[in-house]
Amino acid sequence: MSARAVSTRLLWTHLKPTGKKHRKHDKILWLIGAGKIFYGLILLAVGIGAFNLIGKNLSAELWHLIQGWNVDLHNRYIQMLFRKVSTVDGQKLYFLTFVTFAYASVFFVEGIGIILDKYWAKWLVVVVTGSFIPGELYHLVRQFGWFDFVLVFINAASVAYLIWRIKTHEHPHKFTITKSR
């Protein structure tokens, strides 16, 4: 080995990463990650259902579904659903299926990254979830619902907790210099 290679190798031996040693896993992080994975599973199921509808007559499929559930066909919500379904064509369904699968994959990446306590995953959740909060608040102000309120509150609390956690606990690239022997 050349003298330069040895000196370069020795130069870095006194730098040791400071990080998580044997820290207890944060239960709130685990809960946030589990919630993200749960959302991902829901979107995956919706995406598979939408994928199975590609190439089929959506109105006929909805008709069979409603008959199986014995729902009143004159219900205004059912009529509204039939009007919405009649505007969806194959191209829109392909696009919706693709977006649903893509968004599910983002939820899976966020959830697994948070459970594994990865620094980048915390920032990903802060950016992605935080970017939707203003739109959710606007929708909540225009049409209040307790379920929507709880979801917005959980998302805002998750983002606030992750920002606090990053600011107080995380130092991703901090190194300490130790004496070499």
Q: What is the C-alpha to C-alpha distance for residues 134 and 140, in angstroms, rounded to an integer?
A: 10
Identify the CA nearest to 170 among candidates 122, 114, 128.
122
Say if CB 177 and CB 14 are below 8 A apart: yes
Find the distance separating the first CA and the last CA of the chain, reported in whole Å: 20
Give the pLDDT confidence score for residue 164 in this predicted structure.
92
Identify the CA nearest to 122 among candidates 177, 174, 160.
160
Q: What is the C-alpha to C-alpha distance for residues 157 and 136, in angstroms, rounded to an integer?
A: 14
Average pLDDT per consecutive 10 residues, the chain (181 residues; last block may be shorter): 54 51 72 95 95 87 85 84 86 92 96 93 94 92 91 93 88 58 55
The whole model's pTM is what? 0.71
Following DSSP, what letter does each residue of 24-50 receive, concatenated? PPPHHHHHHHHHHHHHHHHHHHHHHHH
At 5, list the tokens. 């290679």
Give the pLDDT confidence score for residue 22 in this predicted structure.
45
Question: Which strand (E) or helix (H) includes residue 137?
Answer: helix 119-142
Q: What sign for the dihedral angle of Cα 70, 73, 76, 82? A: positive
Give the pLDDT confidence score for residue 8 in this predicted structure.
52
Q: What sign for the dihedral angle of Cα 53, 56, 59, 60? A: negative
Question: Which strand (E) or helix (H) includes residue 103?
Answer: helix 90-115
Identify the CA nearest to 50 among candidates 39, 37, 40, 61.
61
